[in-house]
């Protein structure tokens, strides 16, 4: 099975840049740049920013950043899937995960939203058979802080440095997923990085 749509979740607007909830946007921006994808184009009908690239000897893959705000991410995804006739099984969604430590990545092809409103909305609008590419942002601290305040908060300077170090790992894992498919890629991706991995961001 090949993938035709890669989605990064986040909220539009400069005030949300560098927030934990926008790690999906951040990774997709870097992935588009690394792949030499087309410039981002705002599509008002499909309610998202779109880009496209063509892997070697393969069909084109669309990249999407929904502009419907996180809680209605599924609106844009549903429209894009319908317009380009892309089944849910050929969709990858990249998003933040509080139950994974910073720098960790996990891929799955099933599972509940785990309290993530963006995932809840997507699953309500298309079949929940899309592939989940979860990027760890760590547990909220202090525990008394509301989940909304935590995910909409910005990364600390120290965490930003770590995110930059881990970015190459995120991009390599996403590229591996696209090239190898979920079953094979998960063997390599779904492991915690070793100490050295955490320092230099490499697989």
Kindly report, residue by residue over 82-100, the tens digit of the pLDDT. 999 999 999 999 999 998 9
Instruction: Kindly give the parts of the chain with pLDDT less than 50.
Output: 195-203
Two structure tokens written together for 96: 């933040």
Identify the architecture of domain 5-200 in CATH: 3-Layer(aba) Sandwich (3.40)
Distance (Å, whole) CA 151 – CA 147? 6
**pLDDT value at position 33?**
96
**pLDDT value at position 200?**
47
Q: Using alpha carbons, list the distances in angstroms from residue 41 to 38, 46, 48, 167, 176.
A: 9, 11, 8, 23, 26
155: left (phi > 0), else alpha (psi -120 to 50), else beta?
beta
**pLDDT value at position 48?**
97
Given 21, 47, 79, 132, which residue is catalytic?
Answer: 21
What are the extents of the domains in the chain?
5-200
Give all strands (DSSP E) within the chain, no chain letters.
5-8, 41-43, 48-53, 61-66, 91-97, 105-108, 131-136
- Cβ distance 134 to 107 under 8 Å? yes
Q: Could you tell me whether strands 41-43 and 91-97 are parallel, antiparallel, or unpaired per DSSP bridges? A: unpaired
Enumerate residues 6+ apart whose C-beta is below 8 A from 188: 173, 176, 203
Q: Does the annotation count 21 as an active-site position?
A: yes
**pLDDT value at position 198?**
45
């Amino acid at each position: 099975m090949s993938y035709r749509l890669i989605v990064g979740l986040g909220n539009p607007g400069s005030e949300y840049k560098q927030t934990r909830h926008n790690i999906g946007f951040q990774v997709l921006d870097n992935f588009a740049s690394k792949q030499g994808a087309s410039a981002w184009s705002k599509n008002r009908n499909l309610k998202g920013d779109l880009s496209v690239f063509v892997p070697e000897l393969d069909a084109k893959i669309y990249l999407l950043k929904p502009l419907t705000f996180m809680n209605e991410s599924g609106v844009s995804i549903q429209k894009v899937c319908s317009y380009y006739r892309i089944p849910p099984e050929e969709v990858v969604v990249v998003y933040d995960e509080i139950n994974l430590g910073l720098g960790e990545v996990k891929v799955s092809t099933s599972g509940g939203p785990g309290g993530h409103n963006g995932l809840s909305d997507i699953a309500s609008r298309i079949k929940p058979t899309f592939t989940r590419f979860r990027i760890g942002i760590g547990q909220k601290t202090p525990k008394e802080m509301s989940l909304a305040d935590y995910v909409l908060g910005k990364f600390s300077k120290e965490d930003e440095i770590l995110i930059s170090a881990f970015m190459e790992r995120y991009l390599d894992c996403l590229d591996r997923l696209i090239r190898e498919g979920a079953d094979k890629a998960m063997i390599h991706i779904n492991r915690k990085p070793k100490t050295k991995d955490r320092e230099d961001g490499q697989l």
